[in-house]
Chain A
Amino acid sequence: MIHDIKVLDIIISGLISGSTYAILALGFSLIFGVARIVNIAHTAFYMLAAYVIYSATYKMGIHPIVAMIIAIIVITFLGIICYKFLIEPIREREAAVLIATIALAMVFQESMLLGFGGHYLSVQPLIKGYLAIMGVKIMWQQLLTIIIAVVTLGAVWTWLSKTRTGLAIRSTAQDREVANLMGMDEGKIAVITMGVSVALAAFTGAVVVPLTVLNPFMWLHPLVMMMAAVVLGGMGSLKGSFVGAYILGFTEALVVFLLPGGAYLKVSVALFIMVLVLVIRPEGLYGVYFEEER
């Protein structure tokens, strides 16, 4: 039976981390595609959302679901404000944007460190209890997280491929100048994309928060894995990001459950796989080699 336990555990854990990375990677590659911003602060927004939920439920006594909605709205506004005042004025300078986002992430991390301290905090799951399959405990919260994540991915996918705004975003990502010539307001689209991207990060934070522990440094690990997923799948390809995210998520789960000392090695092995793929296919799994930016 031990064998079965491991298989189920690996599937659940891989699905959860894979979906987390997939939603994060989706937001990250959206804003990268549209505005060419490598947003290091992306997962810092995820961390902030988790803290907003924590303080709303425990400090103010708001119902968790309401707290989640509040968190997503607040963080989205914060993201748009940061974009408008800190990133847009220097958008022409790629290097400056890069460290602006790093500094922004540090500002968030330090303010959470000030407000809540460096110790680990946790949030109660929405649905308590667990489901037992073949002697394996699967928490309802885990199942809920997986379902919500998959539904969100589907919704964003549909939004991007069926609506006019989605079309505008995709075409701006493909060629900014031509999209501008076709009458799309590039600045406005960048703001919308930033909003959606940050909302997705906040949403991930909201969904994942009951399953993890909160601390101000929790943004670093997802940041690395998210970037790895984007690169592995191929930049500019949303499908690639999904596949990359799930590959990395399952690799992590496999390493953790099967290798001794796996908790330390999981990131190493996952990133090593990414490097291997890149050596064989420099443009990533589904990536297309863009011509030089004009």
Chain B
Amino acid sequence: MGSLIFYLRKLIKIFRSEVLVLPSRVAVMLFFLFIILFPIIFPDPYYYRVIVLASIFAILAASWDLLSGFTGQMNFGHALFFGVGAYTSAMLNLNLKIPPIASIPLGAVAAVMAGLIIGIPCLRLRGTYLALTTLSFPIILVGMIFAFPGFTGGELGVSGLSRLADSYIGNYYIVTITMLVLVTVMWKITDSNIGIILHAVREDEIAVRTSGVNTTRYKLLAFSLSGFFAGISGGLYAHYMRVAGPSTLEVNTSFLVVIYAIFGGIATIYGPVGAVFVLIPLLEFLRFLEHVRIPDQILSIMPDLLGKFLVKFVEILPNTRMFIFAFFILMILLFMPDGLLPWLRDKVETQCPRCKVRNISRRQTCRICTADLH
């Protein structure tokens, strides 16, 4: 009993001195709590769906960040991993009756294979060459899918998969917990020695090579890890939507992933996740435009022409969703070119000039080495 209280006190002490001191850590904790408690706060299947889709794309965007953000190997064809994961798990599930719990990891393994197959030739390429070459792989695959509809379902895709779980809540928790675990794993990977090497590859590959590190091996590792996580998100998507269609491989999917990741801030992992959880609910929220109506009283007191214009304007409003989305991204980027989350983080935290530990920005002295912060 005494030892239990001892460990509890120790835990509380760690919690107070490590988590509560930094706003970003508190934010991460609140995010975890929010995701876990969400079904209690908003018990509505529609809201579950938004969060589930956001979680799936959060894994995808974070996996893009793991590859492209950290190693600087710009991958414009991330939809390849997503699509291969989705199609493989869908076909395994449908043809061999493998349950989702096994078919999703198998799909991820297939995505890793795809990553290795394209990674080995692509590693000889640099920068923009690599970006534009990777862009082409999902398009090649889409062409194949359309050309051989007997096997792949063509335009309609593979449908009729088994569900992840029988209830909305079950679906919700399976996807969100997977997301939280995978994102934490990715965060840990990028925090480890591997992450440091990957980061160094982006900054100066030659310097890393001269330090005796086999950069090709690490780049391939990044390709496979990223492919694995993206493949899992693809499998989850296929089983959640119960269909794997060619839309998973579209150029748009690849571009959206890049948008999420850069919008949130690259080489951070938490950035892309945060960006997805800002942008996807924003897109859903913009659906309220469908219900905007102008009250008749206001219309009656307006000049006729202006009234007509307003009515017309409200009619086309629902279709402006993607327009507003893209415009919002453009505007945010103009003011926060490093991404949304790093910008916010720099507002509330400052780095100690002496010991490089982060501090809340209202502190005058560093919390570790007491150096002057300003």
Contact = CB atoms under 8 A, between A and B. Distances in A.
A86 interface: yes
Interface stretch (A89-97, A151-159, A167-175, A181-189): A89-97
Which of A40, A106, A274 has the largest count of B CB atoms less than 10 A from its CB? Answer: A106
Given A98-B258, A235-B129, A275-B121, A89 B263 contact: no
Contacts of A274: 133, 136
B247 to A, nearest CB: 13
Contacts of B262: 95-96, 98-99
A36 to B, nearest CB: 9
Contacts of A110: 319-320, 322-323, 326
Interface string A254-294: 00000001001111110110110011001110000000100
Interface residues of B, number: 42
Interface string B319-331: 1101101110110
Interface string B241-260: 00000000001000100110
A272 B334 CA distance: 37
B229 to A, nearest CB: 20
Interface stretch (A60-68, A70-78, A191-199, A222-230): A222-230
A93 B333 CA distance: 10
A100 interface: yes
A114 B316 contact: yes
A99 B135 contact: no
A275 B136 contact: yes
Contact of A114 (B131, B323, B339): B323
B302 interface: no
Given A32-B128, A224-B136, A265-B143, A99 B329 contact: yes
A284 B323 CA distance: 37
A178 interface: no
A224 B251 contact: yes
Nearest to B329: A103
Which of B128, B132, B140 has the largest count of A CB atoms less than 10 A from its CB? Answer: B132
A106 B140 contact: no
A271 B140 contact: yes
A113 interface: yes
Contacts of B206: 292
Contacts of B137: 271, 275
Contacts of A267: 139-140, 143
A113 B142 CA distance: 24
A268 B147 contact: yes
Contacts of B316: 114
B218 interface: no
Summarize B's interface: helix, strand, loop or mixed.
helix
A223 B76 CA distance: 13
Contact of A228 (B124, B136, B144, B329): B136
Summarize A's interface: helix, strand, loop or mixed.
helix
B338 A93 contact: yes
B337 interface: yes
Nearest to B254: A102
Contacts of A100: 330, 333
Contacts of B121: 275, 278-279
Contact of A103 (B135, B143, B330): B330
B285 to A, nearest CB: 17
A93 B225 CA distance: 26
B125 interface: yes
B51 interface: no
B132 A227 contact: yes
Contacts of A149: none
Given A103-B259, A265-B144, A271-B140, 7 more contacts: A40-B255, A96-B338, A99-B258, A224-B251, A264-B146, A279-B121, A282-B129
27 contacts: A89-B337, A90-B333, A92-B337, A95-B262, A96-B337, A96-B339, A99-B258, A99-B262, A100-B330, A102-B258, A103-B333, A106-B322, A106-B325, A107-B330, A110-B323, A114-B316, A114-B320, A114-B323, A224-B251, A228-B136, A261-B146, A268-B139, A269-B143, A271-B139, A274-B133, A275-B136, A282-B125
Interface of B: 121, 124-125, 128-129, 131-133, 135-137, 139-144, 146-147, 206, 251, 255, 258-259, 262-263, 266, 316, 319-320, 322-323, 325-327, 329-330, 333-334, 337-339
> Which 5 A-B pairs have CB atoms at the shortest separation, nearest pair first?
A268-B143, A264-B146, A106-B326, A110-B323, A271-B136
